[in-house]
Structure 1
Amino acid sequence: MAENEPDPDIDAARFAAIIASSTDAIISKSLDGTVQTWNPAAEALFGWSAAEMVGQSIRRIVPEDRAEEEDRILARIRAGHVVPRFTTKRLTKSGETVPIAVTVSPVRDASGQIVGASKIANDLREQIELQSGLREKTDQFTALANNIPQLAWLADKDGWIYWFNQRWYEFTGTDLEEMQGWGWQKVHHPDHVERVTNRIQEAWDSGEPWDDTFPLRRADGEFRWFLSRANPLRDDEGNVVLWCGTNTDITDQLEAQNHIKLLMREVNHRSRNMLATIRAILRRSSGLPKDELVRSLDRRINALASNQEILDGGDWSGARVADIVEAQLRHLGEDMRRRIHITKPSPVIVRTEAAEAIGLAIHELATNAEKYGALSNDRGRVDIEWEVAGEAAEEPVFRMRWNEIGGPLVPEPSRTGFGSLLIVRNVEQVLAAEVALNFEADGLNWQVEAPAGKLTVDRIERVAAEDYLAI
């Protein structure tokens, strides 16, 4: 043998050593599928030793439902074609079906004749398990991201947004093709988009967490306010690899906060007005004897308290006239209450100032009727009615009437007391009304007429839902 000429024995030994040490299952077989070689990795993968498999048909490890697959492989090998890597399943000695990746190539002799096939197989169980775990985690993330109440999104390290959760698409009525990158600017309010863009770009450039508050357009065109945040995700070296962002709808929260502020202002306003009313009561009642003063203060303050209890909805925006009247008649006995007739109560809601004035007036009228008027005997009665009237072209007018019938003759008082002030002058001033108080032979008659616009409650949607007429 010439120097440097390859030694076939050494080459064969080296090749055999490579096959024996390979972690891939390497198998050779004849053209009829008889196993000729079976390396240690094949023993480990399939469980059969080389002694058990060499000389046996390769179909021993082929599941019945894949018999035609082996036929096709052998046919391609006979035709001289390589069978590229593909995934399939094979049987182990224990009967377990294992997933593998297989590549099959033709084996030729020295003359180039195809004499068999070599097969390299890789165990895919670990890979499939990892893929399954990754798929499960991905499904869990997707389910979580799509079911949180926030709009959520992911951006690359430069701020290019490449993923939105389903909430985003449902809210905006858009798709990824329209929104990716900087497409999200389309759903921002034009008055805010430049500011938002500049601030978020500063975050992309600095790598610092970002938050902002701004309106986003819903699919139906309505803008709602969102608290938005994004945090960077960094690798082990501290480099930003992606951004995770959320948008939380805070419209209702902001409206609630504004409503609380409005209520607090109303509380302050109403408190000052109530104190002013109490001061007026004190000044007008200061000349009364002590016991009568206490009684006068007690019942009038109770009348004020009754009004506060029925202010509509608990937010002091207004009250139904029917509730005001009922609250101020509550102190009367059952017998007297039966003799008070309310003519088909008109569903009218008035503002807090008007509610207070009407309530105090009704309380005074009821108290006077109990002491001196139609309710002071066992025959008299009181008719109460109110309405909002007016032609379409005219401004609506609020009318209210208290009419006593069958009581004792009550002469018109020679002087004006605080009760008369509440019944007439206070109502005139607060409701911008015309008030008529007449002491007729059949009983006292009190009538009010006021522009309905002065009493309007700014809660039309709630009133309409309950079939009330808001004035």
Structure 2
Amino acid sequence: MGSGDRETQATAEAARAAYDAAAFLAAIVESSDDAIVSKSLSGIITTWNKGAERIFGYTAEEAVGRPITIVIPADRLNEEPAILARIQSGERVDHFETVRRRKDGNLIDISLTISPIRDDSGKIIGASKIARDISERRREAEHREMLLREMHHRVKNLFAVVASIITLAARSAVTPSDLAFSMMDRLMSLARAHEITLPSFAGQSVEDPPATLFQLLSNILAPYGKDELRQWTLHGEDIQVNRAKITNLALLFHELATNAAKYGALSVGDGTVDITFAISPDTIELIWLEAHGPIDADPSQASSGFGSILEQRIAQSLEIDIQRMWTPRGLSIRLSLPRLAIT
């Protein structure tokens, strides 16, 4: 084989290797879960991979040749000129978190990495974008933040309730052993009540058999006296609660009891709470009536703080209408919800 033939063969092999490398790279781009897009310096889309189709909803045929602004919400259009200016100056944009719009109009949280595209002479002729959908990660972060706020709120409430229990136990105790027994009994009841709501922090469903409304409230109100010293009573009809709805309902009842222990009738030894259920084929109605509470009680305190936010979220999820009214006897709360929301 002559030198010319060897040079021709080497050139062909180099071309084939370059082609194989380009095909391999193209396959990687097409199979990526991330959106990989290129655009001109005027912002016109030039390539659009399968990942971009999945994330943004546009096919390559629909996207290529159109401006990249088709996926940018109106209130974020100012981001594109700033990005293009940085690309034209040779900069790379790493992990820029923003919001983009899908073809169906839904907004998604994404992380963008943008790099200049250069020709053989090194001139910048466009930009490549890698967009990763971080919506789920953002939702998880928000969920964790909400749980941390809820945990902080619950711990503060727990200390307030324990302080109330100590005060009530001390008033009726005759001897130190009486005080210790009363405290232990009430704290164990409080622990049982908290067990009902603990699954909400782990994101798990309640594994116990479905409870009834009376069982839920009896567990939650157990720390506030028993037998002839019990500060609460339940009246009316009882009904089973769907397992999937127990945690939300228990959290709501726990919030009502905690507010009563901090500010209302359960914060004093003579205070009482009467709870009455009326159940029809379509609706469940609960009347929570406090009496003999603190004379100087502030009605606004019973619905302040993070507890009211939690209450609103639970009420929305279970379609509960909650109305409060301050009567001469004390706080009255009326809860009305569709029967199907918890059964």
- Superposition TM-score tier, normalisation by shorter sequence: 0.5 to 0.7
Q: Contact (CA 8 Å) 2:190, 2:220: kept in 1 or not? A: no
Q: CA deviation at 1:247?
A: 0.8
Give the 3-state SS of the residue equivalent to 1:256 in structure 2.
helix
Q: CA deviation at 1:222?
A: 2.0
One-letter amino acid matched to 1:397: E
Match of residue 167, structure 1, among 51, 55, 59: 51
Give the 3-state SS of the residue equivalent to 1:208 in structure 2.
coil
Q: CA deviation at 1:263?
A: 1.9
Give the 3-state SS of the residue equivalent to 1:286 in structure 2.
helix
Match of residue 152, structure 2, among 268, 282, 294: 268
C-alpha separation in 2, matches of 1:198 and 1:178: 23
Q: CA deviation at 1:231?
A: 1.9
Question: C-alpha offsets along residues 369-404 of structure 1, whole Å, 9 cap, x if unaligned?
Answer: xxxxxxxxxxxxxxxxx9773476xx741379xxxx
Matched, 1:469 2:332: no
Q: Contact (CA 8 Å) 1:215, 1:223: kept in 2 or not? A: yes
Aligned to 2:254: 355
Q: CA deviation at 1:133?
A: 2.1
Q: CA deviation at 1:242?
A: 4.5
Q: Contact (CA 8 Å) 2:36, 2:129: kept in 1 or not? A: yes
Normalised to the residue count of structure 2, the TM-score between the two structures is 0.61
Q: Contact (CA 8 Å) 2:112, 2:132: kept in 1 or not? A: yes
The more displaced of 222-231 and 342-351 is: 342-351
> Does the C-alpha gap of structure 1 residues 430 and 310 become closer, same or farther in structure 2, counting only changes over 3 Å?
farther
- 1:361-400 equivalent positions in 2, closer than 5 A: 389-390=279-280, 396-398=284-286
C-alpha separation in 2, matches of 1:245 and 1:144: 15
Q: Contact (CA 8 Å) 2:44, 2:68: kept in 1 or not? A: no
Matched, 1:136 2:17: no
One-letter amino acid matched to 1:355: H
Aligned to 1:227: 111
Question: C-alpha offsets along residues 425-449 of structure 1, whole Å, 9 cap, x if unaligned?
Answer: xxxx979xxxxxxxxxxxxxxxxxx
- 1:136-215 equivalent positions in 2, closer than 5 A: 136-156=20-40, 160-180=44-64, 183-192=67-76, 194-211=77-94, 212-215=96-99
Percent identity between matched residues is 18
Pick 1 or 2: higher relative contact order, CA cutoff 8 A, min separation 6: 2
Q: Contact (CA 8 Å) 1:224, 1:249: kept in 2 or not? A: yes
Aligned to 1:346: 241
> Does the C-alpha gap of structure 1 residues 328 and 200 become closer, same or farther in structure 2, counting only changes over 3 Å?
closer
C-alpha separation in 2, matches of 1:234 and 1:204: 11
Aligned to 2:327: none
Q: CA deviation at 1:306?
A: 2.3
Q: Contact (CA 8 Å) 2:71, 2:103: kept in 1 or not? A: no
C-alpha separation in 2, matches of 1:226 and 1:187: 11
Q: Contact (CA 8 Å) 1:162, 1:180: kept in 2 or not? A: yes
**Which structure dedicates a bigger proportion of its chain to strand?**
1
Give the 3-state SS of the residue equivalent to 2:140 in structure 1.
helix
Q: CA deviation at 1:199?
A: 1.9
Give the 3-state SS of the residue equivalent to 2:132 in structure 1.
strand
One-letter amino acid matched to 2:78: R
Aligned to 2:178: 292
Q: CA deviation at 1:161?
A: 3.5
Aligned to 2:308: none
C-alpha separation in 2, matches of 1:141 and 1:263: 43
Q: Contact (CA 8 Å) 2:194, 2:220: kept in 1 or not? A: no
Q: CA deviation at 1:134?
A: 2.7
Q: CA RMSD in A?
A: 4.7
C-alpha separation in 1, matches of 2:280 and 2:54: 47
Q: Contact (CA 8 Å) 1:154, 1:164: kept in 2 or not? A: yes
Q: CA deviation at 1:314?
A: 2.4
Q: Contact (CA 8 Å) 2:117, 2:126: kept in 1 or not? A: yes
Matched, 1:301 2:192: no
> Does the C-alpha gap of structure 1 residues 352 and 203 become closer, same or farther in structure 2, counting only changes over 3 Å?
same
Normalised to the residue count of structure 1, the TM-score between the two structures is 0.46
Match of residue 315, structure 1, among 201, 208, 217: 201
One-letter amino acid matched to 2:285: V
Match of residue 137, structure 2, among 253, 256, 259: 253
Q: Contact (CA 8 Å) 1:316, 1:352: kept in 2 or not? A: no
Question: C-alpha offsets along residues 309-352 of structure 1, whole Å, 9 cap, x if unaligned?
Answer: 2216423999885474696799xxxxxxxxxxx97623354152
C-alpha separation in 1, matches of 2:160 and 2:4: 97
One-letter amino acid matched to 2:90: G
Question: C-alpha offsets along residues 137-177 of structure 1, whole Å, 9 cap, x if unaligned?
Answer: 22321222123221111235665431121111233332345
Aligned to 1:426: none
Q: Contact (CA 8 Å) 1:152, 1:246: kept in 2 or not? A: yes
Q: CA deviation at 1:224?
A: 0.9
Q: Contact (CA 8 Å) 1:321, 1:355: kept in 2 or not? A: no
Question: C-alpha offsets along residues 21-71 of structure 1, whole Å, 9 cap, x if unaligned?
Answer: xxxxxxxxxxxxxxxxxxx95x985xxxxxxxxxxxxxxxxxxxxxxxxxx
| Gap regions ≥5 residues in structure 2 | 223-236, 261-275, 294-300, 304-310, 320-338
Q: CA deviation at 1:198?
A: 2.5
Question: C-alpha offsets along residues 184-215 of structure 1, whole Å, 9 cap, x if unaligned?
Answer: 211222222x2222222222332212253332
Matched, 1:244 2:134: no
Aligned to 2:265: none
Aligned to 1:448: none
> Does the C-alpha gap of structure 1 residues 127 and 237 become closer, same or farther in structure 2, counting only changes over 3 Å?
closer
Q: CA deviation at 1:180?
A: 3.4
| Gap regions ≥5 residues in structure 1 | 1-39, 46-121, 331-341, 362-385, 401-415, 422-428, 432-452, 462-466
C-alpha separation in 2, matches of 1:353 and 1:131: 70
